[in-house]
């Protein structure tokens, strides 16, 4: 699998990154630790070298499962984690990083990201200078190799880049959710900030497995995803109906088509979650899919009506 450079570093990411939000179990249903471990191992076998997690995913559970699954292969993979918005004070960042290192069974992180901007989810706002001082000190100590941000607006990204080097932005980005194209995508490309696109399959929607009458189990946060709401969902189903024959014609799955569209963008990697080994291996195959200009145009034509119906709020969920 080809690699892509992270920002202005010498770190090389796989274009398909395995995401492990679901591995933490919290906010998901039907997740099994043993299957999650096999999924990580299958991803490695398929050429995925990069894994994304966060302290808040199951309060460290995702990190623990990921660390156990990687085991002795630590020197062959890249681990990306995140500090949550309630831990952005100097001492809090240091402590959170140390917890993540312990959970993962490693002595360094390849990328450490601010998960949400200061003040998110009712957290006490902390000056970005204070958070960046902690992250810079961790980097100087060799405990992290690079610094990134997640869910930052373009203005917030520009502001923190004035304080210190930021190598990546992690926003939601898929055929159906394209807010990052309103300025951030071009700015990141021009300034060598890598986009790590999360929810590139629109939380499973673009796999085609959710029909018009789908109901999520109690406890599954995807029921709050705005793409599943009554004002958008019928339009989503219409788009899926047009995407399905495209995937069939190319002999690939709809998920692979969705992932291939994301990584066709220069400077963009796709963070794809997987519940089991089969899904992880299938996701990896998207890196081998080539889309022609006419296919990219057709994908834009099919998906644009849904993306344009979404309002200006870049947050995917009705929380």
d(CA 24, CA 28): 8
d(CA 132, CA 90): 8
112 is catalytic: no
Distances (CA, A) of 248 to 175, 234, 242, 268, 284: 18, 22, 11, 25, 18
The angle formed by the CA atoms of residues 122, 127 and 131, to the nearest 5 degrees, is 95
Given a contact cutoff of 8 angstroms between Cβ atoms, the answer to whether 102 and 94 are in contact is no
Tokens of 154: 């373009």
Strands, DSSP E only, in the chain? 4-5, 12-13, 16-19, 50-52, 78-83, 111-114, 147-150, 168-170, 194-198, 268-273
- Beta-carbon contacts of residue 109 (< 8 Å; ≥ 6 apart): 79, 80, 81, 97, 100, 101, 143, 144, 145
Which entry of 57, 112, 173, 233 is annotated as an active-site residue?
57
Between β-strands 12-13 and 4-5, what pairing exists: parallel, antiparallel or unpaired? Answer: antiparallel
- Beta-carbon contacts of residue 50 (< 8 Å; ≥ 6 apart): 13, 14, 17, 18, 77, 78, 80, 110, 269
Instruction: Please give the positions annotated as active site.
Output: 57
């Amino acid at each position: 699998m080809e690699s892509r450079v992270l920002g202005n570093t010498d770190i090389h990411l796989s274009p398909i990154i395995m995401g492990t939000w679901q591995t933490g179990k919290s906010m998901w249903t039907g997740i099994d630790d043993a299957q999650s471990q096999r999924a990580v191992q299958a991803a490695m076998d398929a050429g995925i070298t990069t894994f994304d997690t966060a302290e808040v995913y199951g309060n460290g559970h995702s990190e623990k499962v990921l660390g156990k699954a990687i085991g002795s292969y630590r020197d062959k993979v890249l681990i990306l984690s995140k500090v949550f918005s309630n831990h952005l004070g100097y001492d809090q960042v240091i402590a959170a990083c140390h917890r993540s290192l312990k959970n993962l069974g490693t002595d360094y992180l390849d990328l450490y990201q601010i998960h949400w901007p200061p003040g998110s989810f009712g957290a006490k706002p902390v000056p970005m200078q204070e958070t960046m001082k902690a992250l810079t000190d961790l980097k100087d100590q060799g405990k992290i190799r690079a610094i990134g941000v997640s869910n930052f607006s373009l203005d917030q990204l520009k502001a923190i880049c004035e304080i210190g080097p930021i190598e990546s932005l992690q926003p939601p980005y898929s055929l159906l959710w394209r807010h990052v194209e309103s300025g951030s995508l071009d700015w990141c490309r021009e300034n060598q900030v890598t986009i790590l696109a999360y929810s590139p399959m629109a939380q499973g929607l673009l796999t085609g497995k959710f029909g018009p009458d789908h109901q999520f189990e109690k406890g599954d946060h995807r029921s709050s995803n705005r793409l599943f709401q009554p004002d958008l969902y019928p339009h989503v189903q219409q788009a899926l109906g047009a995407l399905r024959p495209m995937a069939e014609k190319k002999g690939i799955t709809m998920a692979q088509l969705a992932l291939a569209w994301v990584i066709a963008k220069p400077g963009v990697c796709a963070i794809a979650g997987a519940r089991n080994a089969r899904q992880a291996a299938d996701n990896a195959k998207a890196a081998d899919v080539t889309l022609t200009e006419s296919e990219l145009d057709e994908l834009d034509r099919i998906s644009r009506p849904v993306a344009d119906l979404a309002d200006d709020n870049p947050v995917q969920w009705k929380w």
